[in-house]
Amino acid sequence: MADATTASTARPARIGVVTFPGTLDDGDARRAVRFAGAEAVALWHADTDISGVDAIVLPGGFSYGDYLRAGALATQSPIMRSIVEAANDGLPVLGICNGFQVLTESHLLPGALVRNEHLHFIRHDQSLRIESSETAWTNGYERGQEIVIPLKNAEGRYVADETTLQQLEDDGRIIARYIDGNPNGSAHDIAGITNAAGNVVGLMPHPEHAIVPGFGPDTAERMRSGTDGLTFFTSVLAHLGIAPVDDVVPASHAPEHHTADAGIRE
């Protein structure tokens, strides 16, 4: 893995952020990418071209209205077919909340995200413990480090069969656990996992909402210090060997004119 301090500065990293119908947090994800020192590239669900990006973020929201199952219809979008192929070839992919659901529905990650055990939508600042610093998206953290980032979901409970859960434990593929209470009944207190290669990560809480000093969650050290989530985005730059830059190209926006079902038509 390259060290960002010695990485090339020839160009900024280009990180794609996908917008599906019903996506809510694509704007915040693009902003987090820019704050990390990369160029945010808007990717549209109905396209097949991932624009040669270096990494991809699948943001939170309610893609396709969560019809059938949360994240299920998004897997049929043209863009996801390209992303699955690229991820299997090693492209770093981060799925946040609904993006995590899309990753499990796409079988890029095992298990499933189902209705919270208490059957309520939840939203609060959540304490996590980082369990792995060996992935493309967590290498900037220390194993055992405790962070605070926002959590908001109704279908956030991670479930899997016992064999899968034991394999995740044995292989060190649980990247973050809930601490100070399990908010949704997730098995083994799982907040996030990775694939075997470490390039694909799914996380239920929202790191993109905790990137700006003074505007994020409280931490033990200082009220509303709020930057614990930024390291997910800077980590992938170190993984890619591309140094962060101060002046990146502003993010483009998804097309204004579209049809909600365009991405699932053959």
Angle subtended at Cα 197 by Cα 192 and Cα 201, rounded to the nearest 5 degrees = 25
Rounded CA-CA distance 266/252 in Å is 26
Helix axes 230-240 and 26-36, enclosed angle (nearest 10): 60
Is residue 266 annotated as part of the catalytic site, yes or no? no
Rounded CA-CA distance 29/99 in Å is 11
Is residue 209 annotated as part of the catalytic site, yes or no? no
Query: What are φ and ψ of residue 120, in 5° steps?
Result: -115, 150
How far from 62 is each of 11, 13, 209, 237, CA to CA, in Å?
Answer: 33, 28, 17, 28
- Out of 97, 105, 155, 209, which one is annotated catalytic? 97
- Out of 105, 208, 209, 239, which one is annotated catalytic? 208
How far from 81 is each of 1, 40, 67, 264, CA to CA, in Å?
Answer: 27, 21, 19, 11
Is residue 188 annotated as part of the catalytic site, yes or no? no
Both tokens of 156, joined, read 């956030």
In the 3-class helix/strand/coil scheme, how is 10-42 assigned residue by residue? Answer: CCCCEEEEEECCCECCHHHHHHHHHHHCCEEEE
Handedness of CA 212, 217, 221, 222 (dihedral sign): positive
Provide the edge-to-edge strand list for the sheet that holds 146-153.
Answer: 39-44, 14-19, 55-58, 93-96, 200-203, 190-194, 174-178, 122-130, 146-153
- Out of 39, 105, 206, 209, which one is annotated catalytic? 206
Tell me the catalytic residues: 97, 206, 208
